[in-house]
Amino acid sequence: MREPDEAEFTAVVAARAHSLRRLAYLMCGDWHRAEDLVQNVFLNLYRNWARVQRRDRLDAYLRTSLMRAAVDAGRHRTRREQPFGEVPDSPAPPDPGCEDRDALLAALSEVAPGQRAVLVLRYWEDLSVEETAAILGLSSGTVKSQAARGLTALRGVLARPAFSDFHDK
Amino acid sequence: MSEDDNARELFERLRGLPEPTWNPNGAELFAIGRRRRYARRRATVAGGTAAALGIALAAITVSGTSSSPGPASGPPTGNSPTGSSSSPSAPETFELPPTVPPHTGDERALDYSDTSTLTLKAGTDATLGELPVARTPAEERTQMAIFNKVDPGLNHLHGTSPSWRGRTVAPNLGADFLIAGSISYWTTGAVPDTHDAVTSLVGPAIGSLEVDIVPERDPDGAEQPLGNTSKAGAPCGLEYAASEFALRDGHATGQWTQCVTRDMPGNVQISYAERTVPQGHETMAVRLARTKNGDGAVIIMATDFTLAGRAKLTSDPFTGQLLADALAEPDVSSSLTG
């Protein structure tokens, strides 16, 4: 089995880490956990390097590995991942116009992990039903039904009074 | 406008998300991946069980997520008898109960351990997830034998969080699981920052004692022996350990002492080497067992490294001779089952 070349591997990390982190953040809502997920994905990549390279499916592999890990993490909150409660998330640049985005992120976090993954891949990554199905290991029919249920759930959350500002826009 | 179009429009509002600064270290990930690869290859699937880095591999994923350093109460004092045994009714599941009862008495040191886990589901790509700390009875016996030898009063080993409790599981978890691993122990009592550039992923960057168990049997087919004595610059020729140490000091400039080796019955060889580098002192000891199933090993790595801004250790309590003696204990084995 061929081991990755260090320069090649680090180039892959540099080129894809940030986009994967954004994807992970949408799944977990925490930048630190998103970074952990992404780092683990790259460690998986190292181990499967030859197979991934051989099939020329690097990006598909990274997205698949990340999304499955994120879904698993969402389903199995472990001690290691216990939230800090009142401790604020990592510092991000101020963004005065972010209320809408924050509301949507908060609502998205309340959608079941599997449905959330479908929504993120379909509507954030803009992938097709078939591509989404391949990444999550689901049938196309399941992706469609999960997307529909996920959207219903998301809109249900956004319909709550706490999210009234979001609806006004 | 279709439902899909509406949904896309909804998600458009997420574009332009402000992001905190992040500089992923590809070289560091490369080094960790390399180390894990060796460990994982030798993880046992025993009717499916094991322990490891990706699991962590060996556990190297040490992310201190607690803000409260150390266990709620102090470690026990005095010598502990060797060889805690597991309950025959140990749970055969990874499900984490609402609260995990802490170990008591002799098993107390296991509460200080941190093992990450890797879940491999048959026929799928590996997904790295983190599960509750789990260990097999055989693994537990090995760990306890080592702890009781190198730090019987638990004067140096401190946990990362009181909420991380070890749990022993039966060795018949099902073929879908591969648990391989190692354990990391903080020796300073300090809890690393959750996302310290080094410690959140690599493991201890301060004084540490790490025990890696590399089982004999290799489910994927071993490609390189653990003990490659022709490897220049590696402690006792053990490239596995060398890569880990290199992560910690960033530039492996120190010269390892000559490997001290002793032969044991059953084709077992115990070796150790030490070296001093600008950041401190480090020691590696390995128990290498050559069996018909392949090479298996128990590796102990100890450092007293000090990084900028961290309190310096007064001394390195773990000498090569001490670690080698621990590896000669009768309960020490690279087998993860039984």
Choose from B19, B35, B191 for mutation: most chain A CBs within 10 A.
Answer: B19
- Which one of A41-45, A151-155, B107-111, B188-192 scores highest in mean pLDDT? A151-155
pLDDT at A104: 87
pLDDT at B261: 93
What is the pLDDT tens value at each position of chain A, 169 positions in all? 466 888 888 999 999 999 999 999 999 888 888 888 888 888 878 877 776 765 567 888 888 888 877 876 665 433 233 332 233 334 444 454 567 788 888 889 888 888 899 999 999 999 999 888 888 877 888 888 889 988 988 988 888 887 777 754 5
The helix or strand, by DSSP H or E, that contains position B212, with its residue range, turns out to be: strand B208-214
**Residue B198: left (phi > 0), alpha (psi -120 to 50), or beta?**
alpha
d(CA A69, CA B199): 21
pLDDT at A159: 84
- Cβ–Cβ < 8 Å for A114, A132: no
Contact assignment for A79 to B163 by CB distance below 8 Å: yes
Q: Which chain B residues are Cβ-neighbours of A45 within 8 angstroms? A: 33
- Tokens 């490997």, residue located: B259
Backbone angles phi, psi at B241, to 5 degrees: -70, -35
Q: How far apart are the first and last CA of chain A?
A: 55
Residues 247-286 of B with CB under 8 A from A: none
Question: pTM, whole model, 2 decimals?
Answer: 0.45
Both tokens assigned to B98: 């609402």
Smallest CA-to-CA distance from A79 within B158, B50, B66, B57 is with: B66
Say which of A41, A42, A80 has its CB closest to residue B130: A80
d(CA B323, CA B301): 9
Both tokens assigned to B19: 């992001």
Bridge pairing between strands B294-303 and B280-291: antiparallel
pLDDT at B39: 43
- Cβ–Cβ < 8 Å for A143, A115: no
Choose from A1, A48, A57, A79 for mutation: most chain B CBs within 10 A.
Answer: A79
Backbone angles phi, psi at B228, to 5 degrees: -100, 85
pLDDT at B131: 34
Cα distances from A99 to residues A1, A95, A166, B34, in angstroms, run 49, 9, 8, 43
Q: Which chain B residues are Cβ-neighbours of A5 within 8 angstroms? A: none
Contact assignment for B194 to A12 by CB distance below 8 Å: no
pLDDT at A55: 53
Measure A102 CA to nearest chain B CA, in Å: 8
Q: Given a cut of 70, is residue B139 above it in pLDDT?
A: yes
pLDDT at B164: 32
Higher pLDDT, B338 or A131: A131
Biggest alpha carbon distance in chain B?
76
pLDDT at A70: 80
- Inter-chain Cβ pairs, chain A and chain B, closer than 8 A: 168
pLDDT at A41: 85
Both tokens assigned to B18: 């402000």
Backbone angles phi, psi at B287, to 5 degrees: -110, 110
CA B236 to chain centre: 20
d(CA B124, CA A69): 12
Choose from A8, A10, A35, A40 for mutation: most chain B CBs within 10 A.
Answer: A40
- CB burial of A115-152 (b: ≥16 within 10 Å; e: otherwise) equals bbbbbbbbbbbebebebbbbbbebeeebbbebbebbbe
Contact assignment for A41 to B128 by CB distance below 8 Å: yes
- Cβ–Cβ < 8 Å for A130, A121: no
A8 shares contact with chain B (CB less than 8 Å): no
**Residue B259: left (phi > 0), alpha (psi -120 to 50), or beta?**
beta
Contact assignment for B125 to A44 by CB distance below 8 Å: yes
* B163: DSSP letter: T
Say which of B24, B129, B132 has its CB closest to residue A39: B24
Q: Which chain A residues are Cβ-neighbours of B17 within 8 angstroms? A: 22, 25, 101
Which residues pair with residue B56 across a beta bridge?
none
pLDDT at A131: 87
What is the CB-side half-sphere exposure of residue B248 using CA atoms within 13 A? 29
- The predicted-structure confidence for B33-80, as pLDDT tens digits, reads as follows 766 554 432 221 111 112 222 222 222 222 222 222 222 222 222 222
d(CA A122, CA B4): 9
pLDDT at A158: 86
Backbone angles phi, psi at B213, to 5 degrees: -110, 120
d(CA A88, CA A121): 27
Higher pLDDT, B217 or B180: B217
Higher pLDDT, A18 or B129: A18
Q: Which chain A residues are Cβ-neighbours of B195 within 8 angstroms? A: 32, 35, 90
What's the average model confidence in pLDDT over B87-91?
30
Contact assignment for A68 to B127 by CB distance below 8 Å: yes
d(CA A102, CA A20): 20
What is the CB-side half-sphere exposure of residue A81 using CA atoms within 13 A? 24
Say which of A38, A81, A124 has its CB closest to residue B11: A124
Say which of B29, B67, B124 has its CB closest to residue A13: B29
Residues 197-216 of B with CB under 8 A from A: 200-201
Nearest CA in chain A to B162: A79
Cα distances from A89 to residues A34, A166, B14, B15, B221, in angstroms, run 12, 22, 18, 19, 43
Q: Given a cut of 80, is residue B126 above it in pLDDT?
A: no
Smallest CA-to-CA distance from B269 within B293, B307, B238 is with: B238
Higher pLDDT, B97 or A134: A134
A11 shares contact with chain B (CB less than 8 Å): yes
CB atoms within 10 A of CB B86: 18
The helix or strand, by DSSP H or E, that contains position B261, with its residue range, turns out to be: strand B260-264
pLDDT at B71: 27
- The predicted-structure confidence for B241-279, as pLDDT tens digits, reads as follows 544 454 444 445 667 888 899 999 988 999 999 887 766
CA A16 to chain centre: 14
Backbone angles phi, psi at A84, to 5 degrees: -85, -5
Biggest alpha carbon distance in chain A?
57
Q: Given a cut of 60, is residue B135 above it in pLDDT?
A: no
Average pLDDT taken over every residue of chain B? 55
pLDDT at B170: 33
B17 shares contact with chain A (CB less than 8 Å): yes
Smallest CA-to-CA distance from A11 within B283, B164, B30, B160 is with: B30
pLDDT at B149: 87
Higher pLDDT, B285 or B161: B285
What's the average model confidence in pLDDT over B302-318?
58
Both tokens assigned to A80: 């290691």
